[in-house]
Chain A
């Protein structure tokens, strides 16, 4: 794929690496038992440890460690049986300890891989450098008082996984695919809720540009992006900014940037002289983390079917297209829904493509329109299965099915009940259809003449009239057949 960006003089390649901060799905924090619930009253979920009271000590939350190991397994990565927590020292009002407990030299997870899929069926492996566990900081609130800053420590100490990729990404599009795929894997693993709006998944983007074949250029880091849209916009802007400088003969200054989503531009976060020296050193309050082989083995058994495997299953077992399979598996909930529909009736297995279409077109459309997630769908997978079964067994036409579908969405009733009550069962009886057709042909003798004189386009007219007469219930295939016979 050609990802080159045309400048005014040269073509440029964008080199991107991502650092994803994923909040570990856990009821309590990384080193304390405080709750991690989102949206609670400020400072209502703060333990003595989270507030860094004198003499307080961190104790590792083993569940968070397990979540990190599971993530490592899901990323096909090496689990390091020896890892160390370090202190990253810096002063900030919402960092109560004056340091963040993180992992520096010895992270819990080593090299892994995430495969991204393109629409054309091709795919690309993005290498993962490492994953480490660290604490989140609190939140500074600058908008509560005109002269004061308030600090909310509810988030202080919440467990994050920082997942660092190699600079293997070459475009904003690829970066978006990567984060989408990574998010999907995390959600399949149930290790992160993937909620970007609530900040459960944030990205730092490292970006540089070069002429193809040349060495990497100087990179800049765009901090703290919390939506895929902003990530794409930030990359696109920043690549152009760097190309602009280089084509004018300038040099890129290594810098930390912030993305202003209002104007879609990046700007420097701090000056060079303020650059931090984090003075990392092993946290003496915590022992090195040693992970038994047996723990890893038991967690391997807990790993569910992941999107790549599911996709393969859809392609191999259900003969779905690469594209359909990708769409269905990108969100675990969608894929689960699809699986449930197929499981509801064995006869549907042969019509997986039809099921996929109903989900990705009709269901997605109606859910979008009502701003609902698939798990909130008023139409259950079982009901959708019944509806599709009615279609494939010729009980109702596709057109009628759409009506029934709308009704199901509104009333949550079963399709059978709706079809019965509204008398929507398809007419397949030849005699009944013949009677309708004869009536139509009788009523339109002039048109019949014209048809026979060669104006065959009129067939559509007859079909429409007959269908209308049957109130849409006539089996279209049969109707066509009989009509053609009569007009012969």
Chain B
């Protein structure tokens, strides 16, 4: 058996053709064989076997029984260390389990390890991790491509079938972009659909947990399990979670698809626009109607994002001060010096850059010009989407402005790196759900992705449309 989909694997497990332990051993071997990808920060064979033996004794009805999952190392886990890809938490062992991972544990899934990610989820390439970069499994011979980021380890692990699904977090594109780069499905749900409790915070008003999988069906199964209200997260939504998998329906006839003109940017390669065009044609073939729409404030999204996210990060990361837990520099003579050295040595370059930006934009005298204005822009961008959804059922765009790039390629130019998020950031600011579906290939035969966006809490619509795209993709 191939063991590459959740739906098939669940059937095999439930029919007792294979035990969870046996299944886990297959994945342990795959992970060991793919060590070169550096997809995991933490991987422990015995721990996986121990989990599997326990799960073997549990009910067959568990909706994820035995399913091997990778957990982005931003989710706090009780039985595995949690580093957020940072030196400052390199030896941190939480005493608690995040809300989302607890739900996955409760459904009988096996955690195969903690997936690599950009430090504190800040990056688009997984090159800012203290534990080294992850290599995109689709890299052609002789080349090392980034898996995207920040959830690059999760995307790579799913793409290389080192697990059947993975958790990620998406603040400005950290699930959708790596999904696109690695050729897997990635979903960023509506802000508030999944609890943030127990997830190391980057930018609280944008951070959203989501998932990676190899198909829309698998993604739908996982989505139902990670979504849900949590009274410990004040921004968690109190809504009924639909059975996304059961409700899947790939009929797109009569659907109106918004295609925003602002997402056609100068300097973006033809292959991206061509793939977009192909997807449009495919939907039309299925009976959907294409509607040109306008999201006029799109161009302000990236600058607004790179004010709001660092501002929140500068405050969220203040707790890593060496006082209570995590790394502490020993060479210090005073409290101030301890802070200075701990944070200088404990944080990487990109994290420091964003803390500096965030501190600057919140400073007295600059707050109104930057942070407050960015918040106003954010509101306008959300208004753009609200207006657009009056005329269409969902919106379709490319996920990224390019295919996966080479490791080291954009390191020296942070602005170029930030441009990776240009198509994903607007939805993050608006809090609406977004999904990236592998669609088409670049000239170099690398995967590309199509992004579908819908109204708040209307994940089902884009899962359905995604299923159509996936099933009819050649």
Contacts and interface: CB of A to CB of B under 8 A. Distances in A.
B80 to A, nearest CB: 14
Contacts of B339: 91
B367 A284 contact: no
A53 B324 CA distance: 9
B234 A96 contact: no
Interface string B337-380: 00100000000000000000001001110010001000000000
Nearest to B308: A284
B367 A57 contact: no
A43 to B, nearest CB: 10
A331 to B, nearest CB: 39
Interface residues of A, number: 31
A381 B424 CA distance: 73
Interface stretch (B6-14, B174-182, B195-203): B195-203
B76 A285 contact: no
A99 B318 contact: yes
Contacts of A281: 311-312, 315, 362, 367, 371
A55 B76 contact: yes
Interface stretch (B31-39, B88-96, B446-454): B88-96
B202 to A, nearest CB: 11
Given A53-B94, A54-B82, A59 B318 contact: no
A449 to B, nearest CB: 92
Contacts of A53: 76, 94, 96, 325
A281 B82 CA distance: 28
A52 interface: yes
B58 interface: no
Contacts of B196: 55, 57
B89 to A, nearest CB: 7
A99 B82 CA distance: 23
Interface string A67-107: 00000000000000000000101011100111100000000
A284 B204 contact: yes
Interface string B62-94: 000000000000011000001010000100101
A279 interface: yes
Contacts of B201: 54-55, 285
B235 interface: yes
B59 interface: no
Nearest to B312: A284
B315 A91 contact: no
Interface in A268-299: 277, 279-281, 283-287
A60 B235 CA distance: 12
B234 A279 contact: no
B250 interface: no
A277 B325 contact: no
B9 to A, nearest CB: 30
A222 B362 CA distance: 27
Given A286-B234, A287-B235, A51 B324 contact: yes
Interface in B273-317: 311-312, 314-315, 317
A284 B318 CA distance: 15
Interface string A349-372: 000000000000000000000000
A48 interface: yes
Nearest to A281: B362
B103 to A, nearest CB: 15
A279 B235 contact: no
Contacts of A279: 314-315, 359, 362-364, 367
A51 B325 CA distance: 10
A432 to B, nearest CB: 79
Contact of A96 (B75, B94, B200, B324): B324
Contact of B199 (A55, A60, A87, A99): A55
B234 A60 contact: yes
A287 B234 CA distance: 7
Contacts of A89: 314-315, 318, 362
B118 to A, nearest CB: 16
B319 interface: yes
**Most B-side CB within 10 Å, residue of A55, A59, A284, A285:** A55
Contacts of B359: 279
A423 to B, nearest CB: 70
A277 B359 CA distance: 10
A151 interface: yes
A53 B98 CA distance: 12
A52 B323 CA distance: 11
Contacts of A217: none
Contacts of B312: 281, 284
Interface in B127-178: none
B63 to A, nearest CB: 25
B233 interface: yes
A149 B335 CA distance: 10
Interface in A376-390: none
B321 to A, nearest CB: 6
Contacts of A476: none
Contacts of B203: 284
Contacts of B321: 91, 93, 98
Contacts of A277: 363-364
Given A48-B96, A281-B311, A54 B200 contact: yes
Nearest to A283: B204
A54 B94 contact: yes
B231 interface: yes
Contacts of B94: 53-55
Nearest to B196: A57
A52 B324 contact: yes
B323 A151 contact: yes
Contacts of A287: 234-235
B234 A59 contact: yes
B442 interface: no
B269 interface: no
Given A59-B231, A287-B234, A52 B197 contact: no
A398 interface: no
A199 interface: no
Interface in B358-411: 359, 362-364, 367, 371
Nearest to B195: A57
A92 B338 CA distance: 11
B232 interface: yes
Contacts of B362: 89, 279-281
B319 A98 contact: yes
Contacts of B335: 92-93, 149
A91 B199 CA distance: 23
A52 B314 CA distance: 15
Contacts of A91: 318, 321, 339
Nearest to B359: A279
Contacts of A280: 362, 367
A285 B234 contact: yes
B346 to A, nearest CB: 13
Which 8 pairs show the lowest CB-CB distances between chains A and B?
A98-B318, A284-B205, A279-B362, A284-B204, A55-B198, A52-B319, A54-B200, A277-B364
Given A54-B319, A279-B363, 4 more contacts: A53-B94, A54-B201, A57-B232, A99-B318
Interface of B: 75-76, 82, 84, 89, 92, 94-96, 98, 196-201, 203-205, 231-235, 311-312, 314-315, 317-319, 321, 323-325, 335, 339, 359, 362-364, 367, 371
23 contacts: A52-B319, A53-B325, A54-B84, A55-B75, A55-B196, A55-B198, A55-B201, A56-B198, A57-B233, A57-B234, A59-B231, A89-B314, A89-B362, A92-B335, A97-B318, A98-B315, A99-B315, A149-B335, A279-B314, A279-B364, A280-B367, A281-B367, A287-B234
